[in-house]
Structure formats: structure tokens, C-alpha cells
Amino acid sequence: MSQLMLSQLGAGSAIWSQVNDVFVTAAWLAFVAALFVVCALGMHLLVLTIVFVANLGRGKQIEAALAASPMPAVLPRVLIQLPTFNEPGVVCRALEAAAAIDWPRDKLRIQLLDDSIDGTTDIARAKVAELKARGIDADVIHRTNREGFKAGALKNGLLYDDCEFVAIFDADFIPPADTLKRTVPALVANQNFAYVQTRWEHLNREMNLLTRAQALALDAHFTVEQGARNWSGLFMPFNGTGGIWRRAAIDDAGGWEGDTLTEDIDLAIRAALRGWKTGFMPSVSIPGELPENVPAWRQQQFRWTKGFTQVALKLLPQVYRSTHLTLVQKIAMTFQLFQGWAYPAGALALFAALAAMLLTSSQPWGIFAIGVFSTAFGGVAVFAMTMCGQLFLRRPPGVKTLFAFFTMLALNGGLTLSNTRSIWEAMRGTPSAFVRTPKGREAALDKARPTKGHSGLAELFLAVGAIAIAIWDEAWYSPFFALTVFGLALVGSATLTARLSRQA
């Protein structure tokens, strides 16, 4: 080989080495930037936990004052709305629970807002006829289209009634008989309250490891997150069910709108922009059902994550122009609406790490330290919030709780691809239907329906590929990498298994 050819090969090798170094540097910078976002969102959770602890005494006094609100001399009329869509297994139970609520019969009306396209409507009409024979004011309002989805059904129901207060319960929730007597007086006594939000409890908490993990996360949300926000004067959202609204606040805020997948926080923010306040009563618990399989839970998380981003794009410009909100309230609301961005940040970190592993066989110790710190920091923040929630509810953590906690972390890591796609769709303005989450007995019935949705193969392929690259690069030391990959494998395999069982 001539000297010229050797020199050209050497020059080409040097250029490729420089290009490779640029790509490696870019990959590690992207990795660090992504983990910075994860840390910022983890800091948000830690701050909320600190705020909760700092305001715990005040919060108990606030709720005690709400609970002590005197029963009005003249009880107001209350409308109970039960939105349903293809829920034949729980619709009768929901109607019976609403009918059992302790409130004067001439002051209470029940609406079953039914958009069903299966046999639910016939079941509901038969049950409503039975309730009417017992002297209960109940109706089935059936729509032949799902315009606006749940928000459209709620809005349509209000056209048929002018009750002063509106209680909303999803079909899988069972409100206790004293729910209105414990919440309506607080709304009557506080004329600036748009709604009173209660706490969710879980009928099927101990069904399996998935439901226990979900229960931990929701317990933390309904104690630490909601408590911290409400008791410190920050914005506390409505959770879509288990709340009682003042009709005047709904109308003043512009009514229900179906242009996002989270109509609850959409209306709540618009009410806050009009100056309305909220009440929080965690001692009043409304039991409901949790998704019992990974595909149903994944579907629910996709909808919530996309909906939050849609609301952020829709309302944050108005939030920052508002004169009713302080700067701290606006910043807190921004973090709240963008909390789902931990998923695309996690996806970026994962792909950046894989790219760097392919391009180089070494990892700078500084990068390793950042990875360990961010993983540990995020884990500590979530752990602190979760355990505070359990202690508030007087549920001492045990081995089962810790196992469920780590399952919760892994499962959330497994949502990296799915929820990143949900945010991408929201940013692009891609529309999608409000897909009801099958729960409990509804999930069993749902198996008979045509196969749809994700197969889980993308998560499995990514998990297997990531493991192969880690083995090839001997990158056994990244906790962030391990947790996310394990979660992807878990969610992917569970989703694929469920899909195959439906096809069988």
C-alpha cells in the first residue's frame, strides 16, 4: 500500500474519531439535560412534601372548620351526575349508591348520563324505573353521540336541571350515604368555594401488586399533593369524581368543555382564573375501583398525561395573564401541568445513554455521578411523598408497602414510551377519543371486545436492545438505566400477554 493511501486512511480515521467524539459529547450532554429535568420535577415533589408537613397542623384546623359548618336551615337542591359509557357491570350499583345518599327526596335528583353503545342503557333504564317506583327522582339521559365525551355528557345533563349544587361520581365509585351531609354545608358556608374535593379510597386495593402500587401513588396524591396545595393557598384541582360543585361556579367559568382529555382540571383552572377558591376534605373518602391489569392502567395514564399537556397549552397563557393568581401560584401550576414531562425526559436520557454506549466503551465518572444522584434524588422525593401519605392515613409501611413502592417506580419507568407519545400527540394537536378505563368486573367483560391499542412490543424490543447494549458495553452500574429498562420489560410483557389472551 502506498504512503499516500496510508496517509489518507489515517486522515479518514482521525476525522471519524473527531466526529465520534462530537456525537458522544452530544449524547452525554443530552443525558445530563434530561436528568436535570427529572431532578427539577423531583424537586417539585419534594417541595410539595415539605409544604404538606409544614402546613399539616393548619390543614387539620381548616378541615375541622369545614366539617363543623352548620347544616343550612333550608337544605339546597343537589343534583347527582353519574357519567357512564359501556359499564353494564357497575351501573346498577352506582344508581343504588346514589339513591341511598341521605338527603331529602324532594331536594335530590339523580342523572345517569349515559353515552353507551352496548346494553348498559337498557339495564340503566330498568333500574331507574325501579328507583322511581320507590319515590326517587332519577333519570337516564342517553346521548346518541359522544360529542365532548365526559365533559359533553356533564354539560348536557345541566341543561335539564338548575340545582344549586352538583355532585359528580364516576360509575365505579360508591359514595357513602353521608357524603352530601358532610360536604354541602361547607359549600353553603363558604360562598367563594367553587367545589369541595373529597379523597378517593380503593375497593380493590389488595387485588394484586398493580392495584397496591396504584393505591400508594393515589394515596400520596390525595393526601400530600392535594393537601399541600390547598392548605398553603396554591391551586388544588378537581379530580373528576368524588367532588361537589357549585353550579354558579361551573357557569361562571364557562361550563364543561371537551377539547381536552382532562375536563376536570380544565374547568377547575378556569374557575380559579375567575377568582373561585376550593375546599378539601380528605376525611371524606369515596371508594372506587382501580384498573386491575397493566393495559387498562397504561391507557388511563396515557389519557391523563396527554390531557394535562393539552390543558397546559390551552390555559397557561391565561394563567400568566391572570390578576387573581400570585406568581408563586402560577409557577406551582406550571410544574403541576408539566409533571408528565418526566417521561420524555426519561426517554431522552435512555436513548442518549444507549447512543453513548454504542459510540464509546467508557463512561465519564462525572456522568456516572449525575446518573446516580438524579436516580437517588428522584427516588427519595417519591419515597418521602408516598410514605407521608401512608402515615397521614395511619397505614404504617411494611414489607408489602415497600415492595409495592418499588413496583410503582418500575411501572412508571415502563410508561416512558407510551406517555412520551401522549405528550407528543398533545403538542402536535393530534385528537384522540376519551377512552374509558375498564376496571374490576368491567375489565373481564372488556376481554370479549375486539383487540385494540398497543401490543407492548415496542417496550419489549427497547428493553431487550438496551440490555444487549449494556452487556456489550459492560454498563452494569447505571441505576437509572436498570430501573427504566426493567419497567419497560414489565409493562411490555404484561401488555403483550393481555393482548394475546384477548385474541385467544
Task: Tell me the domains of the chain and their CATH numbers.
Answer: 71-294 (3.90.550.10)
Global confidence as pTM: 0.91
Catalytic residue among 170, 172, 264, 446: 264
What mean pLDDT, rounded, does the chain reach?
90
Q: Between the CA of residue 21 and those of 219, 223, 369, 396, what are the distances in Å?
A: 47, 48, 21, 51
Residue 345 has pLDDT above 70, yes or no: yes
pLDDT of residue 297: 94
The rounded distance, in Å, linking the Cα atoms of 322 and 343 is 29
The rounded distance, in Å, linking the Cα atoms of 131 and 147 is 28
Give helix then strand counts, H and E, for the chain: 19, 7
Task: For 149-162, write each residue's pLDDT tens digit.
Answer: 999 999 999 999 99
The rounded distance, in Å, linking the Cα atoms of 123 and 125 is 6
Task: For 90-124, write each residue's pLDDT tens digit.
Answer: 999 999 999 999 999 999 999 999 999 988 999 99
The rounded distance, in Å, linking the Cα atoms of 206 and 124 is 29
Say which amino acid occupies 318: Q
Tell me, yes or no, if 266 is annotated catalytic: no
Among 49-63, 224-238, 331-345, 449-463, the minimum mean pLDDT is found in 449-463
Tell me, yes or no, if 264 is annotated catalytic: yes
pLDDT of residue 243: 96
279, 69 contact by CB (below 8 A): no
Among 67-76, 77-86, 373-382, the minimum mean pLDDT is found in 373-382
pLDDT of residue 433: 72
The rounded distance, in Å, linking the Cα atoms of 23 and 20 is 5
Catalytic residue among 114, 115, 172, 266: 115
Among 82-86, 138-142, 386-390, 471-475, the minimum mean pLDDT is found in 471-475
Residue 314 has pLDDT above 60, yes or no: yes
The rounded distance, in Å, linking the Cα atoms of 264 and 304 is 11
Among 37-46, 113-122, 428-437, the minimum mean pLDDT is found in 428-437
Adjacency order of strands within the sheet including 193-202: 138-142, 108-114, 78-84, 165-168, 243-246, 193-202, 277-288
List the Cα angle 145/200/396 in 5-degree steps: 155
Per-residue confidence at 65, pLDDT binned at 50, 70, 90?
very high
